[in-house]
Amino acid sequence: MKKFLFYILIGCLLQTARAQITPSPSRTSGDGPYDMTIIRGATLINGNGAPPIGPVDIVIEKNKITKVQVVGYPGVEIDPERRPKLEGNGMEIAADGMYVLPGFVDMHGHIGGESQGTPAEYVFKLWLAHGITTVRDPSAGNGLDWVLSHKNRSNQNQITAPRILAYTSFGQNLEGIEVVRNLPGERSVGEEVLKGPITNAEEAISWVQANYRRGADGIKFFGASPEVMEAALKENKRLGLRSACHHAQLSVGWWNVLNSAEAGLTSMEHWYGLPEAMFEDRVVQDYPVDYNYQNEQDRFGEAGKLWKQAAKPYSEKWNAVMNRLIELDFTLDPTFNIYEASRDLMRSRNADWHKDYTLPSLWKFYQPSKISHGSYWHFWGTEEEVAWKENYKLWMTFVNEYKNRGGRVTTGSDSGFIFQLYGFAYIRELELLREVGFHPLEVIRSATLMGAQALGMEKEIGTVEVGKLADLVIVEENPLANLKVLYGTGAIKLTEDNEITRVGGVKYTIKDGVIYDAKELLKDVREMVKEAKNGEELKQPGYPNWDEK
């Protein structure tokens, strides 16, 4: 029975793992890194919660920040003698009136897949064009060796891509992957288990050790028996790796978020397992008797009713669970955006960017289907959306209070499903954190420093500080005033002459000292989509402006 459930779960949730997608081509975009790059005259939003300050000059030497210098006052001419001098093979970016932020961290970024027909180049360019410089790939859906290869190529700036961290899916096949680490401390429990099913603690520990030896940065779990989960999480933490978990309904009845946090889990993904940890008058969700997990309408329809079954906000049980998670330094990675179609399907289907940036193959993947994960639009209506709106209110209340009490909340997108597009969905996640109740500065902190901390990389990325890697986002408009200016499609603004314009969009993304023109990256993606449309039979239902090539 355990073996059967294991394969059902992996089959439902890892559709991108069926085959590797095309490798990303060698880098042809991006300038540098230079011996010295100076960003001049910008206003700095630093990601640590500090208010904006400017004008500042930021000096980068190769891929490291070496100086952050305030050079004057707003509206006052800057004395050239106060400014750092450009030396050697250098580049200057005139950023007067612009805003500089740390590079964004996407804590839940899948690198496309065969099912969606999304090549890695397409995904990477959309991410970078929206300021995302670091991505945690949860599940290593294209295979660990593929992800590690792209991680290494990105680290060497050989491809146009964010920095990548590879988190395998617990139990996935590790055969044929070269050993790159030796086990520290205690010796192995025995012969390595290189693939599932994993049915006991010894097999769990063996697989975790194999995963460590093969170079993964961490593990994403979906749930298993308490014996297996506890053994795997504790061994993973002992080895110094981090972890994430989507507490899937097939296992959450006997292992919820609180159990995982106690055993050493780093972050929970989405929200499954959290309401279940706060049940007061039940142990199992109130499923209808004709419910079937393999029916996506059942699965997501009933999920929208779950938060109402948990303890009420600020009640004794609610507070006890929250305070214990904070005490354990536990991270919430909500991914609000990936469920937003549940509360407003029309909005998600008709987002501004689908026409120019969504590949036809991805649009096909989004359509209603009885056999595709996340395609639960069998007959989605008002009642389902109203339930999900209430679900969001309760979920958001918990997340905002968690942040207020000192808990860590990060930003993840989980794009490529449910009408959510790479890059664009990440910015939507920022807007949803604002809806939760975060101050705009707290939103940016979740997108930068909080993500870096959750990855154990806060000494390298997450804020603009001397000695850290040069991961930066430059935008012409103030994102604190309107987060929409970070979208690749910009924000609509009326001029003094009563003309409608679009302003914003990231201007430059700097990753590891390499300067990318975000608008050029978006242009590349539009060309990919245009070419793909020309090769398609243009009769797909619901595609925005589908008849327009």
List of residues 6+ apart from 243 with CB closer than 8 A: 167, 218, 219, 220, 221, 233, 236, 237, 264, 265, 266, 267
Give the pLDDT confidence score for residue 14 in this predicted structure: 43
Please name which of 239, 240, 236, 233 lies closest in space to residue 258, comparing C-alpha atoms. 233
Please give the backbone phi and psi of residue 481, each rounded to the nearest 5 degrees, phi first: -80, -30
The CA distance from 327 to 325, in Å, is 5
Give the pLDDT confidence score for residue 475 in this predicted structure: 98
Confidence of residue 3 (pLDDT cuts 50, 70, 90): very low
Residue with tokens 């890059």: 423
Give the pLDDT confidence score for residue 189 in this predicted structure: 79
The CA distance from 77 to 40, in Å, is 13
Query: What is the rounded average pLDDT for all residues in the chain?
Result: 93
**Per-residue pLDDT tens over the stretch 407-455:** 999 999 999 999 999 999 999 999 999 999 999 999 999 999 999 999 9
For strands 53-61 and 64-70, give the pairing. Answer: antiparallel
Please name which of 335, 315, 319 lies closest in space to residue 405, comparing C-alpha atoms. 319
**Per-residue pLDDT tens over the stretch 469-507:** 999 999 999 999 999 999 999 999 999 999 999 999 999
C-alpha angle 413/101/133, rounded to 5°?
45
C-alpha angle 140/144/146, rounded to 5°?
100
pLDDT above 80 (res 539): no
The CA distance from 474 to 8, in Å, is 44
Q: Name the 3-class secondary structure at 226.
A: helix
Amino acid found at 295 = N
DSSP letter at 245 equals E
Give the pLDDT confidence score for residue 540 in this predicted structure: 53
Q: What is the pTM (predicted TM-score) of this model?
A: 0.95
The CA distance from 436 to 421, in Å, is 21
The CA distance from 465 to 103, in Å, is 12
The mean pLDDT value for 106-130 works out to 94
